[in-house]
Amino acid sequence: MDGDITEAAALRYGSGQEMELPVITGSEDEKAVDIERLRSTAGLVTLDEGFANTASCRSAITYLDGEKGILRYRGYPIEDLAEKSRFVEVAYLLMYGDLPTAIQLDDFSAILNSSSLIHEDMRHFFLAFPNNAHPMSILTTMVASLSAFYPVPENPNDEEEAQIIANLVSQVRTIAAFSFKKFIGEPVVYPSYKLRFVENFLNMMFSSPVSSYEQDPDIVKAVETFLIVHADHEQNCSTAAVRIAGSSLANVYAVISAGISALWGRRHGGANQAVITMLRSIQEAGDDGRQFIESAKNKKARLMGFGHRVYKTFDPRAIIMKKLCHRILGKPGMTDPMFEIAMRLEEAALSDDYFLSRNLYPNVDFYSGLILKAAGIPFDMFTVLFAIGRTPGWLAHWREMRHSENSRIARPRQIYVGPLKRSYIPVNLREKHSVGVMRRSRTKIVVSKYPEMADPSGEMPEMG
Ligand SMILES: CC(C)(COP(=O)(O)OP(=O)(O)OC[C@H]1O[C@@H](n2cnc3c(N)ncnc32)[C@H](O)[C@@H]1OP(=O)(O)O)[C@@H](O)C(=O)NCCC(=O)NCCS
């Protein structure tokens, strides 16, 4: 279904001109005014900073209803997938539209396995990063570098495309584990054909030449579920970055690297770390949560992991994560006082008019950091885990765009608010007109990082 034209919206503009704009209805009855002819007919564009009201594409991958707390991949509720599926099945579903048959799943697992090693020469790259380099910086760089080792044909056929997808889904995980090993200064552990996707990752992370890693099925399930609930979330910031970079027909490894870069920020993939930082500070302050709630209400702090741009009743992923917390942290020896604090915060917030009246509920990040912490995943790896989970989603969008007849280069418009046309000013007359941060002060400005190169007269050296 490509979105049917069901009705029209009338636009009145200028001195009484009118224009009819088609209204497109999606498969779940969501409606969009199609403005494709707006500029050519009326000379107008739309302004929607942050794209809160803009559908950038038609997509058949993920459906999300923030008012009703619904999230479905290819029609399947996230709750069912999280409970019954493996991450590899979900990756296949997102990519190809249906859950795999047993044979398809075997084939997909086999190609993921056979693609899990990265070119041995790439291992040298890891040596060049400084010790303690953030694993996200290594991940973005290494994923872009894959393009040099695995050339992408100009127009990949189905088989070549399947190989690219397998490389990325599998190798992002290998690179993630290798970057952690670099971070802690241990030798890398290679992927094993004998292990499934998540077990393989945990083994690469936590085994070493001197000790083996014992898999705990509950931890495996927890990490598997984390990856599943993060696998796609329609047109979020990083997926939009992937679609925009991909629309130029850039190399797919560079395109996924763009997604990883966009994910890195604390407004996006970095939020689960912020929750743990918040819980730790509450714990260290000896607060039972009440004081923190008061500071959040007084705008002195933000209750991290609460509120969402799209979900306005509940985030279905948060419910799944909370149940998992009970399961994992309820095990003997696994309790975490931060979970107690989180539950107290949630209870207090959900009985407080400040949060209720603003539709602020726990989001996926409120409990997911606790899951990763319980699984032994180090703090700096949280966003990397998110990237492993989101890679199939990014690739599904890249693939959908590649096969779409409507695919065009993404090139938004803007409303220009700068100066009107003005005359060029020769450099010796500029000072009295200059504005902005480079305005010359009376004190000497040293612009060179080499002090001896700064002109003692105080003149600005030519910057080229
Ligand atoms: C997710 C988030 C960015 C959504 O932002 P948004 O839709 O733009 O909502 P706004 O920031 O406009 O907030 C609306 C109101 O709720 C308040 N609010 C929003 N989230 C809040 C929070 N976590 N704690 C306290 N107050 C919050 C705002 O201060 C604002 O109050 P006001 O109406 O008195 O000005 C925001 O809720 C937030 O910062 N949450 C914490 C970070 C987080 O968990 N991010 C992960 C998202 S998956």
Percent of the chain with pLDDT over 90: 81
Instruction: State the distance from the centre of ligand 1 to the C-alpha of 387, rounded, in angstroms.
Output: 23
The DSSP secondary-structure symbol of 210 reads T
Min mean pLDDT across 38-47, 222-231, 439-448 is at: 439-448
Where is pLDDT greater, at 463 or 24? 24
Entry pTM: 0.90
Q: What's the pLDDT at 456?
A: 35
The domains found in the chain, sorted by start residue, are 4-65 (2.20.28.60), 78-424 (1.10.580.10)
Instruction: State the distance from the centre of ligand 1 to the C-alpha of 332, rounded, in angstroms.
Output: 36
Q: Ligand 1: which residues within 6 Å by Cβ?
A: 271, 296, 302-309, 358, 360, 363-365
Query: What is the atom index within ligand 1 of the atom nearest the CA of 364?
Result: 48
Look at phi and psi of residue 289 and say left if phi exceeds 0, alpha if psi is from -120 to 50, else beta.
left
In this prediction, residue 195 has a pLDDT band, given cuts at 50, 70 and 90, of very high
Mean pLDDT across 417-428 = 95
Query: What is the atom index within ligand 1 of the atom nearest the CA of 302?
Result: 24
Q: What's the pLDDT at 239?
A: 98
Using most ligand atoms within 8 A of CB, pick from 306, 310, 314, 355 the residue to mutate for ligand 1.
306
Instruction: State the distance from the centre of ligand 1 to the C-alpha of 365, rounded, in angstroms.
Output: 13
Place of tokens 């910086």: 137
Min mean pLDDT across 226-230, 247-251, 445-449 is at: 445-449
Residue 426 has pLDDT above 90, yes or no: yes
Over the stretch 138-192, which tens digit does the pLDDT of each residue have? 999 999 999 999 999 989 999 999 999 999 999 999 999 999 998 888 999 999 9
| Residue 388: both structure tokens together | 């492993």
Query: What is the atom index within ligand 1 of the atom nearest the CA of 305?
Result: 44
Residue 57 has pLDDT above 70, yes or no: yes
**H helices within 375-444, ranges in order?**
382-402
Where is pLDDT greater, at 313 or 395? 395
Q: What's the pLDDT at 309?
A: 85
Instruction: State the distance from the centre of ligand 1 to the C-alpha of 359, rounded, in angstroms.
Output: 9
Residue 232 has pLDDT above 90, yes or no: yes
Q: What's the pLDDT at 435?
A: 57
| Residue 201: both structure tokens together | 């990752």
Alpha carbon nearest to ligand 1 atom 6, residue? 309
Query: What is the atom index within ligand 1 of the atom nearest the CA of 307?
Result: 37
Over the stretch 87-102, which tens digit does the pLDDT of each residue have? 999 999 999 999 999 9
Over the stretch 339-395, which tens digit does the pLDDT of each residue have? 999 999 999 999 999 999 999 999 999 999 999 999 999 999 999 999 999 999 999
CA distance 295 to 170: 43
Q: What's the pLDDT at 293?
A: 95
Which residues face 13 on adjacent strands?
Answer: 17
In this prediction, residue 457 has a pLDDT band, given cuts at 50, 70 and 90, of very low
Residue numbers annotated as active site: 308, 365
In this prediction, residue 272 has a pLDDT band, given cuts at 50, 70 and 90, of confident
Q: What's the pLDDT at 433?
A: 56
Residue 61 has pLDDT above 90, yes or no: yes
Mean pLDDT across 329-344 = 93
CA distance 277 to 372: 14
Q: Is 176 exposed, middle or buried (0-12, 13-18, 19+ CB in 10 A)?
A: buried
User: Which residues lie closer than 8 Å to 108 by C-beta, 6 or more apart?
Assistant: 88, 91, 92, 100, 166
